[in-house]
A and B are shown apart, each in its own frame.
Chain A
Amino acid sequence: MRALSIARTGLAAMCAVSLALGAAGCGASGSDEEIAAAAPAPTGDVTMVVPFGAGGGSDIAGRAMADGLVSSTPRLNINVDNRDGGAGAVGYSYFLAKAGSPNYLLATETSLISLPLSQDVEFSHRSFTPVVKIGEDYTLLVARKDSPMDTCAEAVRQSRTRRVLAGISGAAGPDNIVFSLLERRTGAELDRVPYESGSETLAGLLGGQVDLASLNPSEVAEQLEAGDLKALCVFGDQRYDYPELAGIPTAREQGIDVSFAQFRGAIAPGNVHPKAAKFWVRAARRYIDSRAYRDYIRSEYLQPKVAFGKDFAQYLRANEALVAEVLHK
């Protein structure tokens, strides 16, 4: 899928070169950006930047939003552009340079908050224009079926007496936040093994390299159903409503005061025209009301906790305070 979007722009690049050489042209593609810079609404093709590689949760979310926005808004065309690298930093930094343009969106998630707090990057959530939060996601603490740990409380207890290894995807990512919270609130001690992605972490857990992992329900649904993995608890305020997940107790029920929701949504670049911001919020409202949105939420086991524009900005501030508490030890 990514290939297609690349090919399109790749062809555009070739055309640009051949234009320069005086060969036959194939449509203007270069000057969109300058025209668009101060415009109150998108003109021409819009780019949905996904700061992670193809196939992951962000990629799925980005493509679902792009498709949903296109089908609920007439005359809108959105191309998805995966700009991965640096655990998301490359994509967000690229997006930072698009300030003012109504022709860009970015499929955002918790690294919008965690990256500025843990790494030397030039952006924070204040650099962008929040458009919509499409849902939240609580991770599950999972272990292999033959693990001596059955609950999160037991995992915490065992970690005090023996070495317990926890796989995390990305050394400074949201997984690390969850485990740090767990350690702060309970005095547990978990040794982290960094992996590159959720699927790699899952493979490490299944392969017996680590004891625990904190993964999204959509990442482990198959293994839970097959019985290869068991869920010890969910790090959320309440249990999931989905029938296949409803049996998993929350950490709070087990006496552990840890709840950490990760969010997904879309942001526009900073300093966009107020009308452009309004345009995107309106388009997002139509998407949220669509069937495509409900299907996406269900297939990814998200909680449909939606916020638009200013409300999303307020959520981000609160989320930042919580994450800052964890990361600044």
Chain B
Amino acid sequence: MIENLLLGLSTAFTPMNLLWCFIGVLLGTIIGLLPGMGSSTGVAILIPLTLTVEPVTALIMLAGIYYGAQYGGTITSVLLSTPGEAATVVTTLDGYQMARRGRAGAALAIAAIGSFFAAIVSLLLLAGLAPPFAELALRFGPQENLAVMVLALVTMVAFSGQSRTRAAAMATVGVLLACVGVDAGTGEARYTFGNINLLSGIPYIEVVIGLFAVGEVLHQIRVGMAKPIRAGFRDLMIRRQDVRDSAGAIGRGSLLGFALGCLPGAGTTLASFIAYGVEKRVSKNSKQFGRGAIQGVAAPESANNAAANANFIPTLTLGIPGGATTAVLLGALTVYGLQPGPLLFAEEPDLVWGLLVSFFIGNVILLVLNLPLAPVFAQLLRIPYGYLYPIILFTSFVGAYAIDNNFFSVWVVFVFGVIGYGMKRFDLPMAPLVVGVVVGALFEKALVQTSAIEDGNLLMIFTRPIAVTILALAVLLMIGPALMRRARALLGPTRPREDREDEETHV
């Protein structure tokens, strides 16, 4: 573990990589801050920017955008009550209330400190856990992969932001979209209508750009601009007492976030919601939750950062995205000609460890940037949307073209932009669709291979212990919360009020 970290340090500490790491986290903060831009969008439209540099440098920057956006998203959540990033939605509950009481600075500072602590904890956990995970993943055959895909889809649905039915519907649409292209089993072209561009399937980076960037912008134009609460430098002072009060929340949030982030398909949003829910239950200060409790900011902010890092475990070791953003990063890996999967750790150790160590460096930079500069970043919120949105649209379309130098990509972005607007309008979640598209293709391949190996008898999957364990976990995730509720109801209505709240945060 030590030599791995040293190897990572030697890779990450080159001037070039440090510079790109800085650019990544800075851009990430800004992207997280801008309404209508999330980390998935940011990573997707900025991939072309990284095509000239080494893969490891590119990944360091793109990952920087990912966790940098978790910081940036906090700023809008606190000052605007408009999360710039889905993972910071729950921060609005207490963060905005703190800001209204003139404690915006304390909220932003504790978020930065919590995120930083979480990053350190999760880096150590990553360094310790990723190699055994990769080792385990080496033994994965199509049967195990099939089980993991099922788990990814179930996680996505079970913990989606709003209704499970909508999430399940969107994940299904995603899987169906993944059917376009050459069939893995027979080599026949499906749903391509004679269009050669569709032979390789619907390109998902373009789908992400369309849904998240173009769709969001269209949506924001309709919604209009919100006025931010001013935060001055003076407000930034955080009391020692605040840190002491939040220590427990940060610790719990980090560990919980990491554990949940390891699940394929979980993303960071889930981690922030659950951490908030748990903290509300265990905190001594639970009455203040929703009215500006500092723990209500510290816990989810630590959790989303820890989860962002932990997401790289399924992404790098299994080649299965941890969430929408890592799905895009997965696409980036293949653009650079790298094959994500267990062999990546053996074949590209400097890339993997350089990337992981860069998380640490990036978070140090973010802490330094965010503690004093949060009010400066907040000024960006005053850019009129009239300037902002054309820039986002321009970058989206040019970026899409540059990925493959193919005008078809631009059409995909356009079509999915319109679809994304419609989905926003009808409150349909986008992340399950994206994960569905990515996982769908992998799912089908695993299904075809398993079927071929087991001579068409898919029940044979139950003879594989690892696959059974993964499937059992999926079942547990699906019915667990419902069972808990049922069990509690049976045991008697001891704390009916809290039950209801629990449900609220779980959705």
Seen from chain A, the residues whose Cβ lies within 8 Å of a Cβ on chain B are 1-4, 6-7, 9-10, 13-14, 17, 53-55, 81, 84-87, 89-90, 93-94, 118-120, 163, 165, 170-173, 191-196, 199, 203-204, 207-210
- Whether A6 touches B51, Cβ cut-off 8 Å, given contacts A87-B187, A90-B197, is yes
Q: Closest CB-CB distance, B453 to chain A, in whole Å? A: 6
Q: Does B132 contact A (CB under 8 A)?
A: no
- How far, in whole Å, are A87 and B187 apart by their CA atoms in the complex? 8
- How far, in whole Å, are A84 and B404 apart by their CA atoms in the complex? 10
- Whether A85 touches B199, Cβ cut-off 8 Å, given contacts A120-B189, A191-B452, is yes
Closest to A196 in B: B445
- Return the contact of B184 from the options A54, A191, A194 (Cβ within 8 A): A194
- Return the contact of A1 from the options B181, B337, B402, B452 (Cβ within 8 A): B337
Point out which of A1, A14, A86, A207 has the most chain B C-beta atoms below 10 A from its C-beta.
A86
- Whether A55 touches B337, Cβ cut-off 8 Å, given contacts A17-B398, A87-B182, is yes
Q: Closest CB-CB distance, B323 to chain A, in whole Å? A: 24
- How far, in whole Å, are A165 and B449 apart by their CA atoms in the complex? 11
Closest to A81 in B: B405
- What are 5 residue pairs bridging A and B, where the CB atoms are less than 8 Å apart in the complex? A9-B405, A93-B196, A191-B455, A207-B141, A209-B141
- Whether A194 touches B182, Cβ cut-off 8 Å, given contacts A87-B187, A120-B189, is no
Residues of B within 8 A of A210 (CB): 453
Q: Closest CB-CB distance, A120 to chain B, in whole Å? A: 6
For the complex of A and B, 6 pairs with smallest distance between CB atoms: A85-B200, A86-B199, A172-B187, A10-B402, A54-B337, A171-B187
Q: Does B185 contact A (CB under 8 A)?
A: yes
- How far, in whole Å, are A163 and B336 apart by their CA atoms in the complex? 39
- Return the contact of B186 from the options A84, A90, A165, A171 (Cβ within 8 A): A171
Interface residues of B in 334-355 (CB under 8 A from A): 334-337, 339, 343
Residues of A within 8 A of B265 (CB): none
- How far, in whole Å, are A204 and B142 apart by their CA atoms in the complex? 9
- How far, in whole Å, are A93 and B181 apart by their CA atoms in the complex? 14
Q: Closest CB-CB distance, B369 to chain A, in whole Å? A: 28
* Contact of B455 with A163 in the complex, beta carbons under 8 Å: yes
Q: Closest CB-CB distance, A15 to chain B, in whole Å? A: 11
Q: Does B36 contact A (CB under 8 A)?
A: no
Residues of A within 8 A of B404 (CB): 6
Closest to A93 in B: B196
Q: Closest CB-CB distance, B69 to chain A, in whole Å? A: 23
- How far, in whole Å, are A96 and B52 apart by their CA atoms in the complex? 29
- How far, in whole Å, are A171 and B445 apart by their CA atoms in the complex? 11
Q: Does B188 contact A (CB under 8 A)?
A: yes
Q: Does B48 contact A (CB under 8 A)?
A: yes
- Return the contact of B196 from the options A4, A10, A86 (Cβ within 8 A): A86
Residues of B within 8 A of A53 (CB): 334, 337
* Contact of B182 with A3 in the complex, beta carbons under 8 Å: no
Q: Does B401 contact A (CB under 8 A)?
A: yes
* Contact of A6 with B186 in the complex, beta carbons under 8 Å: no
* Contact of A193 with B196 in the complex, beta carbons under 8 Å: no
Q: Closest CB-CB distance, B187 to chain A, in whole Å? A: 3
Residues of A within 8 A of B405 (CB): 6, 9-10, 13, 81
* Contact of B337 with A86 in the complex, beta carbons under 8 Å: no
- Return the contact of A7 from the options B52, B141, B339 (Cβ within 8 A): B52
Interface residues of B in 52-100 (CB under 8 A from A): 52, 55
Closest to A53 in B: B337
Q: Does B245 contact A (CB under 8 A)?
A: no
Q: Does B201 contact A (CB under 8 A)?
A: yes
Point out which of B55, B181, B339 has the most chain A C-beta atoms below 10 A from its C-beta.
B339
- How far, in whole Å, are A89 and B343 apart by their CA atoms in the complex? 28
* Contact of A119 with B187 in the complex, beta carbons under 8 Å: yes
- How far, in whole Å, are A171 and B186 apart by their CA atoms in the complex? 5
Q: Does B183 contact A (CB under 8 A)?
A: yes
Residues of B within 8 A of A207 (CB): 138-139, 141
* Contact of B182 with A86 in the complex, beta carbons under 8 Å: yes
Interface residues of B in 123-163 (CB under 8 A from A): 138-139, 141-142
- How far, in whole Å, are A86 and B198 apart by their CA atoms in the complex? 9
Q: Closest CB-CB distance, A32 to chain B, in whole Å? A: 14
- How far, in whole Å, are A120 and B182 apart by their CA atoms in the complex? 11
- Return the contact of B189 from the options A2, A86, A165, A203 (Cβ within 8 A): A86
Q: Does B448 contact A (CB under 8 A)?
A: yes
- Whether A6 touches B337, Cβ cut-off 8 Å, given contacts A171-B187, A193-B452, is no
Q: Closest CB-CB distance, A63 to chain B, in whole Å? A: 12
- Whether A3 touches B337, Cβ cut-off 8 Å, given contacts A9-B405, A209-B142, is yes
* Contact of B199 with A89 in the complex, beta carbons under 8 Å: yes
Closest to B141 in A: A209
* Contact of A193 with B449 in the complex, beta carbons under 8 Å: yes
* Contact of A3 with B335 in the complex, beta carbons under 8 Å: yes
- Whether A171 touches B337, Cβ cut-off 8 Å, given contacts A6-B402, A13-B405, A86-B189, is no
- Whether A171 touches B184, Cβ cut-off 8 Å, given contacts A14-B402, A120-B189, A199-B339, is yes
Residues of B within 8 A of A208 (CB): 141
